[in-house]
Every structure is written in C-alpha cells, then in structure tokens.
Amino acid sequence: MNIHEHRPHQRWVRFERAGKTGFGTLDGKHVREHRGDMFASPEPTGSVFVLDELKLLTPTQPTKVIALWNNFHALGEKLKLPVPAEPLYLLKAPNSFLAPGEPIRRPLCEGKVVFEGELGIVIGKTCTAVPEDQALGHVFGYTCANDVTVADILNRDASFAQWARAKGFDTFCPMGPAVATGLDPSALTVTTLLDGAARQHYPISDMRFSVQQLVSLISADMTLHPGDVILCGTSVGVGSMKPGSLVEVEVEGIGRLSNRFG
C-alpha cells in the first residue's frame, strides 16, 4: 500500500486560542478548525481562524521522539563512520519538545550548542513489529524538527556516551510548524538556515534507512503510537548557534520551523 497515493496533501496544526487548544488544517493564512481525533476521521467544525491570531503548539503530542544517528550517506562518509547494520537511535526527552516560534533556552552548562535540521516522521496508527511493506500505512505525515545538541557533552566521559543528556535539555526539540500529509518523503529536501544563510540543504533520498525501514525496524523494538515522531537524522552542514541566532528548518510542502536560540 502506498499511502501517498490516496491521502490528500494537507497541513495539520495544533494551536492555542483564547486559552483553549485546538487543531485544524492550514489554508493560506487561515486555519480551518476540526474536532475529534486528528489521526482518525477528524471533522471540520466550520470555524475558520486567522493564523496570525493563533499560538501554534507542537504539531502533535508524542509519547516519545526517536532520533536517528548516522542515517545519511553524505555525513557518514564525511565523518568516516562505519556503515550501520541497523538503525542507530536515541530518545529525546519530553521536556525538550518545543513549539514553533518559541525560544530555544540556553543551557546553564558551558559547551557548544549545535543545530541539526531534520525531517520528522509522524506516526498515525499504533504499530508493533509492522512489516516493511505495511509501514507507510502507519505513517500520518511529516514535520520539520531541530535536533539541538550540546556537542561537547557527547563524548566528554570516555566510559559513557551522553546522548540523552546532550540532546535532552529543555527546549532542545523544536518541531513544526505543521504535519503534512500526502507527501512522498523520498522527494523531499531539508534546508536549514542560520540567521538567513543556508547551512544545510540535503535530500531525504540520501537516507541509509528509508521511512518504511525505520518504522518497521523501530516498531520491532518499541510500540509506536499516534503522534510519535521519528527524526530521520541529519546530514552535512551542522553548525553551532550563538545566543540570538535564528535557526529555521524548511521542507517544501511542510513549511518553515523558526526558533531563536537564547
């Protein structure tokens, strides 16, 4: 089953308005509100809001965010990393989840803080050990993400690689601005801008493990729930941020995720 053939291209957002949360589809500069479950036959309420009058939230409420390491040929070859036999991944802590437009908080510890622009796979249907040929049927859509990292912490202790800490600080997982359905991930390109200058521009087709493979193999380890996000990993062009830096991650068909550091 190729889910891209029968799910229309829509961009779903979660928002806060007048102290209440809601969700709907982006239509230009407006949001068409829906009710029910975003992942299971949501219905339009008939209400239409001006986008600029809404506060966007993280596009889903994940039970977990899974982030890939060494999943792009270009970066793996540049860093002379061995080719992984299976997906290499970590978990981003829930306290790191951040909405579009919200500031990335500067850590209280010292160290170089880097951006990593990534594509996020959004799960739409619970799956455990799903076969690869059925995996896309469990994908709702795709979002933009920034896998922020304190690079200096990662290998500071020779006896223990500190992935969870380096990538788990408060606000270190911006996601959004929307979840887009009906896209072919192999045709997408991730662009990361630092203060308006392009620092990353790489194709998703360069992934070592495809979307289908990631969903299938990771779901063999842990059950994936609607709203969970798999960050596909990053490629060349990762760089450090200074206080005040604006980082934007853009994917055509999804939108631009913008967050300022510090």
Mean pLDDT of 50-58: 97
Query: How many Å apart are CA 190 and CA 90, to the nearest integer?
Result: 21
- Alpha helix ranges (H) inside 140-208: 151-154, 163-166
- Residue spans of the domains in the chain: they are 58-260
Query: How many Å apart are CA 92 and CA 49, to the nearest integer?
Result: 32
Q: 3-state DSSP call for residue 51?
A: helix
Q: State the pLDDT confidence band at 3, using cuts at 50, 70 and 90.
A: very low
> What phi and psi, each to the nearest 5 degrees, are found at residue 75?
-75, -40
Mean pLDDT of 63-73: 98
Nearest to 224, CA basis, from 143, 155, 107, 137? 137
Q: Is the dihedral of CA 116, 117, 119, 123 positive or negative?
A: positive
Q: How much is the CA Rg of the chain, to the nearest whole Å?
A: 18
Percent of the chain with pLDDT over 70: 98
Q: Is the whole-model pTM more than 0.75? A: yes
What is the torsion angle, in degrees rounded to the nearest 10, for the CA atoms of residue 201, residue 204, residue 206 and residue 207?
130
Percent of the chain with pLDDT over 90: 97
Q: State the pLDDT confidence band at 7, using cuts at 50, 70 and 90.
A: confident
Nearest to 155, CA basis, from 141, 147, 165? 165
Query: How many Å apart are CA 201 and CA 238, to the nearest integer?
Result: 10
Q: 3-state DSSP call for residue 136?
A: helix
pLDDT score at 218: 98
Q: What is the mean pLDDT of the chain?
A: 96
Mean pLDDT of 120-149: 98
* pLDDT of 233 strictly over 70: yes
* pLDDT of 167 strictly over 70: yes
Topology (CATH level 3) of domain 58-260: Fumarylacetoacetate hydrolase; domain 2 (3.90.850)
| Burial of residue 58 (number of CB atoms within 10 Å: 0-12, 13-18, 19+) | buried
Is the N-terminal amide bond of 84 cis, ω within 30° of 0? Answer: no
